[in-house]
Amino acid sequence: MATINKNYLKLPGSYLFSGIAKSVHEYETSHPDADVIRLGIGDVTQPIASAVIRALHAAVDEMGQADTFHGYAPDLGYSFLRDAIAREDYQARGCDIAADEIFVSDGAKSDCGNLQEIFGTDNRIAVCDPVYPVYVDANVMAGRTGEYDRVEQRFQGVTYMSCTEDNGFAPELPEEQADLIYLCFPNNPTGAVIKKDQLQRFVDYAREHGSVILYDAAYEAYISEDDVPHSIYECEGAQECAIESRSFSKTAGFTGLRLGYTVVPKKLVIEGTSLRDLWARRHGTKFNGAPYIVQKAGEAVYSDEGRAQVREQIAYYMENARIIREGLADAGYTAYGGVNAPYIWLRIPEGMTSWGFFDMLLDKARVVGTPGVGFGPHGEGYFRLTAFGSRENTIRAMERIRKI
């Protein structure tokens, strides 16, 4: 008789953003004339840069000719893209990362969910609280956690590192042995960043404790302040203890195209085994790569024209972030983030729950955001808005919020 993976049953509900999409769908069904503005999921709204579109068209045409047709992509990614990533995202910033340490994928979300597969189920994970739910959910499915405690709103057997206003939403080091440490900076959902000396402390902890840091740098392109690290490999010794994932989704508008990558340095060896080789083995078998045409689109992001156009898009979203931050301040809210990240994390009024605020905002302003508690218990009392809307909708949303 077939059996199911019972770890899935530990998950208390559906994926956060699927649950929100369902609530919004129900609301729209019962209010068919409502003009709902979505600032919930971090999905981009601006069209793909023209340099990238040109590359896509050219690649599609190549697929229609026998002499330029491409079949299976190399399972670790095409070298034209891996070379560009190594050169532009790492070597240009002084990080000694080579192309053969880069694995091209269909997005950072897949990588963040799948990376845990190369580790034993006896590893203890440490996550920030609040946190992007993919890290915990994937480890629950793999059986690396205990049951969900509905009172504490936490999984047993997981180390939660509190990120609060008091610590500037930057976690303290785990107090107990943590084997796999998930960090995301610029942070989703708080929009906070970590300074290099703080990050170095995590690297030092990992080296001392034999831990691995899984560093999600999906929002790196939004960093505007000079003293914020763009990569964990700016820290000394990080190549011996850290894996980093990045995405073209938020940087270049690829949420619908799907492209990302993960860096697994050759120096990262656990129990005498190269994690790079394990991840390569995983890619070879359970391919999660990206098609040729999408990788050509990714290559175009590194051209002079592509780079300039993508910078303009990031500036566009960051102007939205400014409009949201200032609008919230006018409306009397305390808000964080939105300076080095496309997320704004606002404190909701005393006495409300973050789901109560979600319902109120949808009902009174027809604006969708994300309840903070969906990211963990320390998210209760907060609410996330994204800067990824169109300019017009961002302005309209803030006008409506000011009027509540």
Residues that bind ligand MLT (CB under 6 A): 17, 41-42, 109, 132, 188
How many residues are listed for the chain in this entry? 404
| Cβ distance to ligand MLT smaller for residue 109 or 276 | 109
In terms of phi and psi (left: phi > 0; alpha: psi -120 to 50; beta: otherwise), the region of 129 is beta
Q: How far is the CB of 322 from ligand MLT (least distance, A)?
A: 19
Q: Which residue's CB is nearer to ligand MLT, number 23 or number 303?
A: 23
Cβ at position 145, least distance to ligand MLT in Å: 20
How many Å apart are CA 312 and CA 403, to the nearest integer? Answer: 31
Instruction: Give the 3-state secondary structure of residue 169.
Output: coil
The least distance separating ligand MLT from the CB of residue 349, rounded to whole angstroms, comes to 23
Closer by beta carbon to ligand MLT, 86 or else 128: 128
Question: Closest distance between ligand MLT and the C-beta of residue 41, in Å?
Answer: 4
Q: Which is nearer to ligand MLT, 17 or 27 (CB)?
A: 17
**Least distance to ligand MLT, CB of residue 188, Å:** 5
124/258 with CB nearer ligand MLT = 258
Shortest distance (Å) from residue 185 CB to ligand MLT: 14
Q: DSSP letter at 73?
A: P
Rounded Cα distance between 127 and 367, Å, is 29
Nearest to 261 by CA among 88, 48, 69: 88
**What's CA 204's distance to the chain center, in Å?**
24
User: Smallest gap, in angstroms, from Cβ of residue 108 to ligand MLT?
Assistant: 8
Residue, CB closest to ligand MLT: 42
Closer to ligand MLT by CB, 186 or 265: give it: 186
Separation between Cα atoms, residue 183 and residue 397, nearest integer Å = 31
Q: Is 148 exposed, middle or buried (0-12, 13-18, 19+ CB in 10 A)?
A: middle
CA distance 374 to 74: 37
Give bridge partners of residue 149 from the DSSP assignment.
Answer: 154
CB of 21 to ligand MLT, least distance (A): 11
Sequence letter at residue 103: F
Q: Which two tokens stand for residue 356?
A: 């109560």
C-alpha to C-alpha distance for 158 and 160, rounded to whole angstroms: 6
Q: Whose Cβ is closer to ligand MLT: residue 17's or residue 205's?
A: 17
Angle separating helix axes 304-330 and 391-403, nearest 10 degrees: 10
Instruction: Output 109 or 246, the one with its CB closest to ligand MLT.
Output: 109
Smallest separation, CB 16 to ligand MLT (Å): 8
| 212-216 vs 242-247, strand pairing mode | parallel
DSSP letters for 296-316: HHHHHHTSHHHHHHHHHHHHH
Question: Cβ closer to ligand MLT: 109 or 366?
Answer: 109
